[in-house]
Each structure stands twice: as C-alpha cells, then as structure tokens.
Structure 1
Amino acid sequence: MNSAQADAYLRRLGAERPASPTADALRELHLRHLKSVPFENLSIHLGEEIVLEEKRLLDKVVGARRGGFCYELNGSFGALLTTLGFEVTLLAGRVYGDEGRLGIPYDHLALRVRTADGGDWLADIGFGAHSHHPLAIGARGEQVDPGGTFRVVEAGADAAGVRGGHTVAEAADLDVVRDGKPQYRLEVRPRVLGDFVAGAWWHSTSSASHFTRSLVCSLVTEEGGRITLSGRSFTVTGVDGTREVRELASDEEVLAVYRERFGIVLDRVPVVGGGDGGS
C-alpha cells in the first residue's frame, strides 16, 4: 500500500493520519473502522469473488466502499497499519462453535499489533460483535470494553484464567473470552494473507459454513450501539442493549437501508444462495 492509498483509506474511516504509531492512534483507528466499514458477507450471496490480495481488498473496502468478513477486513486493516508504521503480524484463529467445538483451521484472521510506545495488542475489526478497542494481548486479567468484558488467556484456561492439564504446544495458543464465553483460539505463529485462502473458500462455499446460510451486514453506531441487517430484518441495538427490530417489506426498502445506513450501494437485493456459493 502506498501513501496515496493509505490516505484514501483514512478518508474512508474519517480519520487523520497519526503522527506516530502509538497505542492511542491504534485505538482510534480500530474504533473508526468499526463505525465506518461494515462487517458483511454480501459477496457470497451476490456471486462476487473473494480474493485475498491486497489490491483487491483495497478496491473493495476503499474503492467500492464495501465491507467484508474477517479475512477481508483484518487483511486490509493490517495493510493500512503496516503502511502507517505499526508492526503487524497476522494470526490464525479457530472459532468456538456449538458445544465448545473449534472450527476449521484458518477459520479466522486477527492481528497482533506492536506500537511505538511498547504496546502489544490484539486488533480485530473482523469478528462482528466484538471488542470496540484493541485488547492487550499479554494481559491476563479482565479487560472492560464497550463490547463486553474480555480476557486473553492461555488455551484451555477456564473463564477465570485457570489452565487445566494441557501440553506445552497447546499452552502457546491463546483463547479470547468475552463475558465468560470463549470466542476463538489464536495460534501465535505469524501467518501471511495467502495462508487464509482455503479458509475463505470454505466459508464462501460450504453448506456447513454459517456465512453461506445467512446474510449479515453490521456496523457500530457513533453512539456505540449497533445496527444489523439480516435479510429483511433490520435491528437497532442501543448502548444499553435494548433492541428494536423492523421487518422491511420491499426490495426498495432493503436497498435503501443498505445505502443510507451502511453506505453500500447495490443494484439488487442479495438473497441466501443467490450467488450459488453453497455446496
């Protein structure tokens, strides 16, 4: 990413170029991203190819003013942070599903970001409803965030951070816990964007992936709540957790919400399976 591309990305976020790659700068960029770029899986249901290459990600997120899911959002955000002088490492995660089972390898992409003032952070703007701010990756206590109470603990630890009898290899991994419930397990070894191609393909095509079975477009509001459009159901979640759900009656209403609330201009309404992505 060159300087002009980084400036265009920052305009997309409504953010200024930071004077230095500090923890405060990372915190601001992280939150601005969540408020500006939707978490969405519309490409899967519109028949659009998902390509994990930096230029294609920038074309989508910055040029087309779209969003994406973890590989796209954290992939593009990591490229921006690197250009701005942050030290960024891509990490692979496996998401906890039903009954505590872990998902496929390369199920999730998150970022480890080191800042010029000595910070070491877990940045993740690609997990849907998650932390609004980066989490201190080395801290083992509770981290209170507008998105919940988080812990980053050694793999296999319970919600209180106590480990059971696990191997040394397992202890190298980290579990990210939100409000007492494990969200995903991170490997700490560095990865590159190309490592996640198989995971992105699986999530875009497999009938076992929740992304092929549902539509989602979600964004943090300026007030700190959240708006979400799932099919024709539009949900506004307040800062206090209150929810208002409205069913949209027509395609015109759906397209208007995408356009006016998420900044996404579409020429047709995405429908589950409309892109023939499921298998």
Structure 2
Amino acid sequence: MSAVDVDAYLERIGAERPARADLEALEYLQERHLRSVPFETFDFSLGDPVRIGEGAVEKIVGRRRGGGCYELNTSFAALLTALGYRVSLLAGRSLHNGQEPRLGAFFGHMMLRVEIDGEFWLADVGFRWASWAPLRFAERGPQKDENGEYRIVDTPDGDVEIVHDGVHRIRLETRARDIGDFVPTMWWFCTSEDSPVTGRTIWASLVRPEGRASLLDRRLTRYENGERITEVLDDDAFPAAVERWFGIELDRLPELPPMPAAGPRARRGPWT
C-alpha cells in the first residue's frame, strides 16, 4: 500500500496516523475498525465477486463497504503491514453459532497474529464475538475487554480455543498461513448450497456508540436512547435502514425471504 492508500484507509476508519507501530496504536486501530467498518455478507447473496487482500481493501476503502471475516481481516492486515507491523494470518473455525455449540467449516474463520517487540497479539475485526482490543497470545488467564471476558485455552492437538464469556467461540491454528490457503474455503462460501452466506441468508453487524446494530435477513436489531429495538424490514424500508445503520448504499436488493404474515413491527425492550 502506498502512503496515499494508508491515508485513505485511516480516513475510512476515522483514525489518525499512529506515530509508531506499538500496542497502543494497534488497540486504537482495531477499535476504530470495528466501529467504522461493518461485517456484512450482501455480496454473497447478490452474486457479486468476493475478494480478499487487495481486492478487499478496494471494497472497504474505495467503495466504503464492509465484508466477511476474510475480507475484513486481510484488509486490516494490509493496513497494519503498511504501518510497520509484522502480521500473520491464522486459520480457525467457529464452535458456536450464537445459540448452541456447532462446529463450523474448516478454515471458516481467520484471525491475525501481530508481533510487537517479540510478543504476539491476536486481533480480529471480522467476528461478532471478537474482542474489541487485541488479546495477549501467551496469556492463559482471563483477559477483560469491553466486549466481555476472554480466555485462550490450549487444546491437546496444538491448537488454541478462544473462549468468550464462558462460551468456546473459535478453534484456532497456531501456524501461520498464506493468503492463498484461504481461497478454496472462500470458493466454498461463495458457491456451496451448504454455505451459511449464500442464498437468502444475510448478515450485517456494526459496533455503534449506542450499542451494536445487527441485521439477519429482514430482522434489524439496534439501540436508541438506551432501548433495544427490533423490527422487520419490508422491501421499501430495507435499503434506507441498511444505509442508516451500516453506512452501505445498495444499488439493488438482495434476495430476501418473504415478509412475515404480521408485517413489520418494532419491539422495544430494556438495554441488555
């Protein structure tokens, strides 16, 4: 990446250029990324090309979009590398779908290992339950974070598992991978009927000042004035809601499931 590209990326996430590639700057950049660039899977449903690495940078910075975990983390890795960090890609798989334990696809997730002054840190800007600050890779005790409590647990086969608030979320390899190693799984995500992001299933998620905004198909959950609000979006409301809550301008609607018989309604509840 050129200096101009870095400046454009930093503008995209609302960040100042750090004076040095240290832990404080990594914490700052990771949080700014999570609060500025949404996790989103619209292109999988629309059938548009999904690229990682430089192609993901163009999408996130040039077109001001978000992406899936491969897109977000390889793009963030490019920024960190340009700023002087030593970054490796680690392959993982999900262990929980948010409701129950469920083993995800092999290589179905990616995290970044960042070396700073001889010590490794784990960073992730592409996962709903990721920590908002880097995790110390060598630490096996609890690590407090704005998004909860995390532990890194060794497995008998040499992997580690990321535990978030008592839930085993990710099993992660400890060996570095080349970006090309993730291409076959990306092809599977884009083409397989068993992929969780093809067809009508759409996700979007963004950390916002008032609370996380989340979209699953037509169902939008967000926070306003300390209240949790859930609503079902019809075709007319969908594009405006996506632009307002995730900053994404859609030029066409993805394929969406039918509206529930009751129609769109908003439900409010206490902050949780």
Q: What is the TM-score when the length of structure 2 is the normalising length? A: 0.87
In the alignment, which residue of structure 2 is the partner of 1:5? 5
Secondary structure of the residue that 2:236 maps to in structure 1? helix
1:137: how far off? 1.1
Tell me which amino acid in the other structure corresponds to 1:85. Answer: G
Alpha-carbon distance in 1 for matches of 2:196, 2:134 = 26
Greater helix fraction, Structure 1 or Structure 2 = 1
1:103: how far off? 2.9
Give the count of matched residue pairs. Answer: 254
The structure, 1 or 2, with the larger RCO (C-alpha pairs under 8 Å, 6+ apart) is 1
CA contact (8 A) 1:40 1:217 kept: yes
Q: Which runs of 5+ in 2 are unaligned?
A: 258-272
Query: CA distance change for structure 1 residues 96 and 46 in 2, over 3 Å: closer, same or farther?
Result: same
Tell me which amino acid in the other structure corresponds to 1:211. Answer: V
In the alignment, which residue of structure 2 is the partner of 1:163? none
Q: How does 1:89-108 map to 2 (within 5 A)?
A: 89-97=88-96, 100=101, 102-108=103-109
CA contact (8 A) 1:143 1:151 kept: yes
Alpha-carbon distance in 2 for matches of 1:38, 1:134 = 18
- Identical residues among aligned pairs (%): 46
Alpha-carbon distance in 1 for matches of 2:116, 2:240 = 40
Query: CA distance change for structure 1 residues 91 and 200 in 2, over 3 Å: closer, same or farther?
Result: same
RMSD (Å), alpha carbons: 2.0
Q: How does 1:257-272 map to 2 (within 5 A)?
A: 257-272=241-256
> For each residue in 1:95-153, what CA deviation from the matched residue of structure 2 results, as whole angstroms up to 9, or x when unmatched?
1147755333211111001224x542100011123211111111101112121211011
Q: How does 1:175-194 map to 2 (within 5 A)?
A: 175-194=161-180
Q: 1:244 aligned to 2:243?
A: no
Q: How does 1:191-270 map to 2 (within 5 A)?
A: 191-212=177-198, 214-223=201-210, 225-237=211-223, 243-249=228-234, 251-270=235-254
Secondary structure of the residue that 2:215 maps to in structure 1? strand
In the alignment, which residue of structure 2 is the partner of 1:14? 14
1:11: how far off? 0.4
Alpha-carbon distance in 2 for matches of 1:209, 1:97 = 16
Tell me which amino acid in the other structure corresponds to 2:95. Answer: Y
CA contact (8 A) 2:87 2:112 kept: yes
Alpha-carbon distance in 2 for matches of 1:228, 1:187 = 28
Q: How does 1:43-54 map to 2 (within 5 A)?
A: 43-52=43-52, 54=53
